[in-house]
Chain A
């Protein structure tokens, strides 16, 4: 199969006059990295990979062996829509290997590959559909607050909807790249957008999220504005999340569906949910990796705070959407804490690992949370046995550090590197004196 795919890629590159091929991969923090090769090198790259110095890539650094090998995945070869006519450009996602051909531990894409393969060995395919939120802003002057492009709200159709045009062009570009969009609308906050991707297998979706973030920024930049996936750019309004819809299929059957259950959830789905709930705190540093992420995870802004699940209560960590017409294929769960600043390969890996742990160990799912949890005080929550997500990056890192599940899911290399890097981020933040403190204390203390 690989050989036929490579043939196809080479033929297409030649026929379409591709001059430059961008080799894409992702660092541990979730940044898209790229280097370009000439079309003459493509055949060589496909068969032997391309060597590059990885020592300055975040999370790749290793003193003794700086050089690594990028091996293109021919299934992801795609001509980019913005290249010149006659000198087209293409991109291809790569897996990173050591020079001896063994896979490189610092490569997030292969971490997810490993989880997808493990699920497959147990007969499961992991499907994901992310709802990605982001903001548009005018280019700010240095030191100024970001300025939204509009004052629209949830589902608003404003006249002369600038952000609507941006969204439309973004979607057209995504679809040209084979990333189907299910819904898109103006979200609750000023100039906040949401674009929901159609479900696909986990690895394809992780690749799509990387492409998505680039396309959104490219389209914005071409209109002189910029787009951000920062989880909470504006105080006092909702932040941006990446709600993640998950389902496991066994062959053609949705393993999460059970016709006879009142929730239409199979025992397997319930154990998976129980796994996510029990290990949620441990994986939060990965799904919500920045200092700013925790300013979104507060009560009152439709972001989850409590370790609970419910059918249609959006304050829970897991929501079970009611499938249209009771469609067995559409039964799924929605994990609501992740935000779009995460590394999608790592985030999907730890979600899958937590859920699969629940299945392996047959975890019991706690009862559905009935009332709106935001209205309960801590005592009442304790009585219900409902815990909370970590309140800060520091808390999340502590929970992660003690997690044997996350260590195993990410592998030693990424686990250690991530903790080291994020602790440094927390230290920098902790020593920063903010405007809040100046305003609050300077005059009165």
Chain B
């Protein structure tokens, strides 16, 4: 597969670095730059993007927000490669669901080209993401946005659903409030980490007495999803 017959590639970033444009052009990729959600929606071809390069090294918030948008509600996920600076490697933790590969910037053109080729040719093998997340009696259908506990439907608001989905996809891991805020609400959300607390409390209320402990408070750290193995 050569670059030119691979469909339209999205390149997201505040301004597209000349070396990036040159690398893509030389490799024969058909690509389109965009720097806002509106622009992405506007330029999207009818058969969808063939893949996306998201430069998070310039504008972190906008970059990850774009990745989140591409992933939201899709089953046929767009393959995403993120460009990160060395200082941002830590940001990759717990964002596994938002990218398929990454490349350090400044990048070596040959490396980026190799990674892109790999990214776009392995699409069919790994593109299907799990549609259902199951943990204990909890089930989340990512395609239909529906959640149930012990076969009883849970009626969640959008943000409650997003929070529960994120937690259930990462059982056993402890997340700080700040981390949850930036991962679930995005950086643009105002209101502080207390927002997380009130949403957790609402979720526990809806889970009911028997399952409220699926979301555990880790004192002075944050929250963890999942039950202790010592519970009968």
Contact = CB atoms under 8 A, between A and B. Distances in A.
Interface of A: 4-5, 7-9, 11-12, 15-16, 74-79, 120, 125, 127, 174-176, 178-181, 198-201, 204, 249-253, 329
Contacts, number: 76
Interface in B133-158: 144-146, 153, 155-158
A77 B191 contact: no
Given A78-B157, A125-B192, A176-B155, A252 B177 contact: yes
A264 to B, nearest CB: 18
B208 A15 contact: no
A91 to B, nearest CB: 11
Contact of B155 (A79, A198, A251): A79
B123 interface: no
A201 B194 CA distance: 10
B206 A75 contact: no
B201 interface: yes
B39 interface: no
Interface residues of B, number: 28
B212 to A, nearest CB: 9
Contact of B157 (A15, A76, A125, A198): A76
Given A7-B73, A79-B155, A178 B146 contact: no
Nearest to A171: B205
Given A249-B192, A252-B193, A175 B205 contact: yes
6 contacts: A11-B145, A75-B158, A176-B205, A178-B156, A204-B198, A252-B177
Contacts of B230: none
B118 interface: no
Contact of B190 (A12, A79, A120): A120
A16 B159 CA distance: 18
Contacts of A11: 144-145
A77 B73 CA distance: 19
B160 interface: yes
B208 A175 contact: yes
B145 A249 contact: no
Contact of A178 (B177, B191, B194, B206): B206
